[in-house]
Structure formats: C-alpha cells, structure tokens
Chain A
Amino acid sequence: MYDSYLIVGEEFKNIKHAGETTGFQIGMRLCYYRGIVLSLIDGIRLTVDGEEMPQEAMTITVGGRNFPFAELENQPVAKWEFGEVGILTIHKPGGLTPGEHTVNLREHLKISYVPMGFSGVDTKVLQLAA
C-alpha cells in the first residue's frame, strides 16, 4: 500500500552525455515494507503519457550500482534497501520534451510467502525542466 510513494518526482529529468540527451530518469521506491535482493523484482513497467517504455531501455541504480533490467534476475545478493530511492534511467535518444508529463509506474515483486507477490502502482503528473 505504498503506492503513492513509488514515483519520486524530484529525480525526474533528462540525462545528457557529452552534450547529447540520451534519455531520462525518475526516482522510485519499492512497494514493500522491507528491502529485497534485486532478483525478487519481477516487473517494472513505466509509461510516459501512455507510451510504454521498453524494459531493454531500463537501467536501475541502487546502492550506487547500475543494473540493466535484464540483469536483475541474476542478482540474489545486491539489495534495494527499504525506503531507498532508486533511479530508473530510460535510454531514449532525445529524451522527453520539457513540460508536463503523466508518468505511470507499476512494480511487481516475487515474495515467496505471498502467492500473489506484492504489487504497486503510482501515477504522477510531473514537470520536466527545460
């Protein structure tokens, strides 16, 4: 029931490398009451203004380390701590246009003692600075 805390808007911005805008990022928290190892993350889905971002374009930064989405399932030790703001970076040449965007984030965690796992969904209207 942490839904409304999943998206951390303060971290929403375009990312630049060598003068080129290569994508954008948002901050995100776990929809759960404890920290977990990354392999328990079953799904992260992000849409911006209704457009779904491909998981191949996602990199998650937690504990100071970067993990491409496909790498999460191979991480039974690295942890995302309870309440830690992780960064979700989306590789998207050109990034997003400055201004208002509706961001929708869904998380699903594989939690062994709960058949359904834990899920969370958050939607926020955010401003992207120019």
Chain B
Amino acid sequence: MTKTQSIKRGVSLYSFQEEYFHRKMTLADILAACSKLDIRGIEIIGDQMIPRYPDISEEFFKAWHGWMDQYELTPVCLDMFLDWNKYKGRVMTFDERVESVTRDIINANRLGCTVIRVIHDVEPDLLEKLAPVAEKYQVALALEVHAPSDLDSPLEQRLIQLFDRLQTPYLGFTIDLGIYCKRLPRVVTQRYLREGMAPALAQWLTDAYDNQQLSHAEDEAPGKESLAEMVLKRGGREWDIYLAYMGTHMIYSNPRRLLDFMPHIKHFHGKFYEMLPDCTEYSIPYAEIIPVLQEGGFSGYINSEYEGNRWIHDAFEVDSAEQLRRHHALLKNLLGEA
C-alpha cells in the first residue's frame, strides 16, 4: 500500500448541521447521504446529534451500530467539550474533569470511535492523567489545534513536550485545516455586506486578513491596537466589531511545520468554507497541504468540516451534500484515488 492510499477520507457530521438544526434531515438521513456520497468515515459531535449526551441510551447505541452496518460506514471520531463552568459559582475540580472526559472516552469506545477530538481548553496535566484510560479503551485523545492557535502556540508547545515525554500513541493532536486559511472566505465578506457593513470596511478587513495584518482577540495586549479599535477607527458600527471577530478568526500558518510533529498528529479536520464548482476551496490551499500530509506519512483520517453554512444561510439554501461532494472530489484528486 502506498502512502497516498493510507490517508483516509471521512466527514464530521458538523457539516450537516444546517439540515439537522431545521429537522430537514434526521441522523439516519445524514448517514445515508454520507454513504451515497461514498464518504465512509464518520465523526459526530455528541452534544449536537446524540440526544441527552453524555447519557447515551442503549437504544441509540443499537441504532448507531445498525446504521454503520446498513450504510457501510466506519465510526472514526467523537467530538467532546469540557463545560468546566457549568456549576454555579465555581469551576470544575480536577477530579470532575477527569470524570467528565472519562465518560467521553467510554462513549467513544462504545460508539466504535478510535479518536476523540479534544476541545482546546483541556490542560496537559488532565491529558496526562487520562492517558492510561485512553489506552485501556483504545481511543486516542487528540486535542484540536484550531485558529487562531497553531503548533507553535504556547499550549501546543507544552503539549508537544508532554507527548515527547510520554511516548504514547493515545495522545496527540487534531489539526483543523482552518489554520491554513490563505485568504478571507468570500462567503464571510459577502455576509458582511448583507449585514450592512460599509463596503470599504469589508474590503479593508479582507485585505488586512489576506496580508496577515489582523489582530486576534487572543493576542490583544495593552498598548496593542485591538481588532475592535481597528474597526471603530474605520467608521465601523458595534455590530461590525462582532462580525469582524466572528469572521476573521482563521489564520494562515505554514503547512510544512506539520512535518516536525507528524508522529503526534492523529487526525485532521478538513475545514472548508466554500467549495467552488471546479472543486477547489476558495480560501484554503488544499493542493499545498495534502502533499505535506503524504510526505509526512500520515495514515489517519481527514474529516470534512463544512463551515460555510452559517455564513450563507441568511440568504441562500444550504446544500451541505453538494459541498461535501465537491470537497471529496478535491480530496480524491489530491490523494490520487481513482
């Protein structure tokens, strides 16, 4: 088997959130659609499409495995959250955090998933504590590197030290390809205009993003001009500040940096905002990224994560299946699949 063939294609059902939210498609409908699109690897957000998560009913487990058989699908990844602020007046204790993620690990195992997408606000000491649990249930805990962070951000660097020290295949990263977003998605700019943003401001945000001159909330420091200040200075409204923060949250990092950390990379989110009719992505240069994964010998899943939906649904009918068809045509092409 060549390296090219060892990268597998899948989908996060996040991609179908529009249809699910409006009850246009049930979970079973969505899984049938994935099968029809020949996308076999499945990732699910427990809190999005599993009723009463994390209390998954026996009935749900049974239905889930039935759908996997019926539609010839493979469970791949469960996406978890750690709501450490859910108790009134206090944050979760360390033991409560361990208990919460342990529950996710057991749920992932029972769903047949081999990876958990770990949310970004999980600390290294918690992952270290959970490594034996992950190993016991054979589920890799893969913390998501998501814009505006990248592999060189402080948390990620601390995690790399941990991963190097522990040398376990059950801890690592999920990489969201939104960290390789070369230009501002067009769907974002177009939405800005529909929301009444002045065209000059929308253009300025686009140019500033594309030239990597925008400030992110996370790196705003005293004395440094914030994105809010930048927007106000250019005549923006309060609503424009919100739009600017929501829409420019991605970054363009160097994909080749992946090669330095490949053994720690367990999973990818194939983020996309707009698949064009020619099956290229408007803002993320897949043709630059996928060869790096091949060069590094990555052998896991790239799971599509369609996020353009929320930028167009105010004005257009969202067609997630068509966007996914194009995305997988792109992936198949780059992976050299017939």
B246 touches A82 (CB 8 A): no
On chain B, the number of residues with a Cβ less than 8 Å from chain A's Cβ atoms is 34
Is residue B233 within 8 Å, beta carbon to beta carbon, of the partner chain? Answer: no
A39 touches B87 (CB 8 A): yes
Which of A3, A74, A110 touches B85 (beta carbons < 8 Å)? A110
A40 touches B86 (CB 8 A): yes
CB distance from B211 to the nearest CB of A (A): 25
A34 touches B245 (CB 8 A): no
Which of B14, B49, B246 touches A1 (beta carbons < 8 Å)? B246
Residues of A within 8 A of B217 (CB): 115-116
Residues of B within 8 A of A73 (CB): 88
Which range contains the number of A residues in contact with the other chain?
20 to 34
Residues of A within 8 A of B17 (CB): 33, 82
A36 touches B83 (CB 8 A): yes
B83 touches A112 (CB 8 A): yes
Interface string of B20-52 (1 = CB under 8 A from A): 111100000000000000000000010111011
CA distance A73 to B89 in the complex (A): 9
B121 touches A81 (CB 8 A): no
Is residue B301 within 8 Å, beta carbon to beta carbon, of the partner chain? Answer: no
Q: Which of A88-112 contact B (CB under 8 A)?
A: 110, 112
B21 touches A112 (CB 8 A): no
Is residue B81 within 8 Å, beta carbon to beta carbon, of the partner chain? Answer: yes
B22 touches A35 (CB 8 A): no
A33 touches B14 (CB 8 A): yes
B53 touches A1 (CB 8 A): no
Residues of B within 8 A of A67 (CB): none
Residues of A within 8 A of B310 (CB): 1-2, 33
CA distance A83 to B49 in the complex (A): 10
Is residue B311 within 8 Å, beta carbon to beta carbon, of the partner chain? Answer: yes
